[in-house]
Copies of this chain bind each other. A is one copy, B any other.
């Protein structure tokens, strides 16, 4: 028989116990902050109808379809469906399905895996967890909601304590208005947006070159880059979009100040564009400020969209949201050494019966320890005592409780600290007194 290839499929990451414990701690913090700000959880399926996913910007090339290994002829109940590539289209469908039960504005969060059939490369995954919040309005949605999303993200990353970061805030309307003022045609604006969005990746010169190649004149290129780098100062002819966008940014900033959000954590930055088509107003990105591998690492991003899914809901449902790309972020933090995975042991106590005679007493004592809220395991295998200590050593548990012949007879346990070597023999009841 040919040897099986047991490695992970490319682009599908796994989390070891030490990593997964950190991931769970993060999820707890993320959920807590989401709920503190009034977001409610929903869980939508991994799979939606292909036509619905495609109708809202799904990239057919990256979409995984639902297909069985041996699909029977004419069995259509499995086909025509595909895996979600984000939480936004599923949200639009959820809102459409529950339009009459939902009280708007609807604040929901969604946490879970999405799938994209991208080319696998380092830190780019085909399955990854996204943690999304969105606020969906009916017909209208107050601009202060945008600030709420930003405040939530700032609180999360402050609590996660991974170093200095800053949320850079812009408004698409400003850039849209600017292109209008500069006489750049609507049909070219998507390309210009995309090019400006690449500023950090390809630098000033790269952007200049690309904008020229896109047919812009040098006065247009110069003004664009001047604004993106230094603000609107150089623009004399403002228009409606610029005015509206500027007023919205001010309102978002005012709301952040009202919420007493640390002002070191956010800044206005006209170079923030965001790649996605559907943003229409506020856009923001969050990056680590740190040094080395951490520098500039993206933490989350989001923005305002005027239309969540009118095709599904038959109603204007504007929204604003933010998303954390959890899998990628954690794997980058592990690799950069910012998140240490040598965490304390998963156990508070390991109970070691000296021989199999003491297993029953060990099980009973462990259960009492658990009743005091401790995480406890019993080493049950029939091995020499040295092997049992080896195991305790390897799993890094600090405290072991040994029950041998004498301890059993006297209703005692020997407690040993694996780090200091210190050891004392106590009555079982005394252990619980000592634990308080």
Contacts and interface: CB of A to CB of B under 8 A. Distances in A.
B127 A6 contact: no
Contact of A21 (B41, B145, B311): B41
A70 B63 CA distance: 8
A312 B6 contact: yes
A393 B127 CA distance: 40
Contact of A380 (B17, B19, B145): B145
A392 to B, nearest CB: 9
Contacts of A51: 4-5
B367 A96 contact: no
Interface stretch (A101-109, A187-195, A227-235, A412-420): A101-109
A161 interface: no
A385 to B, nearest CB: 15
A97 interface: yes
Interface residues of A, number: 110
A106 to B, nearest CB: 9
- The CB with the most chain B CB atoms within 10 A, among A69, A78, A119, A137, is that of A69
Interface string A284-309: 00000000000000000000000000
Interface in A368-408: 370, 373-378, 380-382, 391, 394-395
Contacts of A46: 12, 46, 113, 115, 127
Interface stretch (A162-170, A236-244, A255-263): A255-263
Contact of A7 (B80, B97, B142): B97
A216 to B, nearest CB: 33
A61 to B, nearest CB: 5
Given A62-B68, A69-B65, A259 B38 contact: no
Nearest to A147: B363
Interface of A: 4-17, 19-21, 23-24, 31, 35-38, 40-52, 55, 60-70, 77-78, 80-82, 93-94, 96-98, 101, 103, 105, 107-108, 113, 115, 117, 119-120, 126-127, 137, 140-142, 144-145, 147-148, 151, 254-255, 258-260, 311-312, 346-347, 350, 359-361, 363-364, 366-367, 370, 373-378, 380-382, 391, 394-395
